[in-house]
Amino acid sequence: MSETRTDPRVTAAVLEVLVATLGIEDRAPTLDAATPLLGELPELDSLGVVELAVALEERFDIVVDDDDFTGDVFETVGSLAAFVAARAG
């Protein structure tokens, strides 16, 4: 997943969904495209991943398949934003 080509507006919107879904508003200012997700955010456990996927589906009108739940997609905010941009585009 390419993080460098993702529209900054998509990254910002993914961050909004991530922050709201996981309830980490207090840490929002410290998050950016390089922020690691899986294994780094304690709130992003197996249930958190599913809740985030559902929230992204609703926000961006995309479908996240079971095969999409990979470490590559959920590695960083940027990789997640690139995935969303590819699905939404």
**HSE (CB half, 13 Å, CA atoms) of 24?**
19
3-state helix, strand, coil in the chain (%, to 5): 55, 0, 40
Give CA separation, 58 vs 39, 40, 42, 62, in Å: 25, 25, 23, 7
What is the reported pTM?
0.92
pLDDT in tens, 9-37: 999 999 999 999 999 999 999 999 999 99
- pLDDT (average), residues 34-49: 95
pLDDT in tens, 74-85: 999 999 999 999
Give CA separation, 39 vs 1, 5, 54, in Å: 18, 24, 20
Q: What is the pLDDT at residue 89?
A: 81
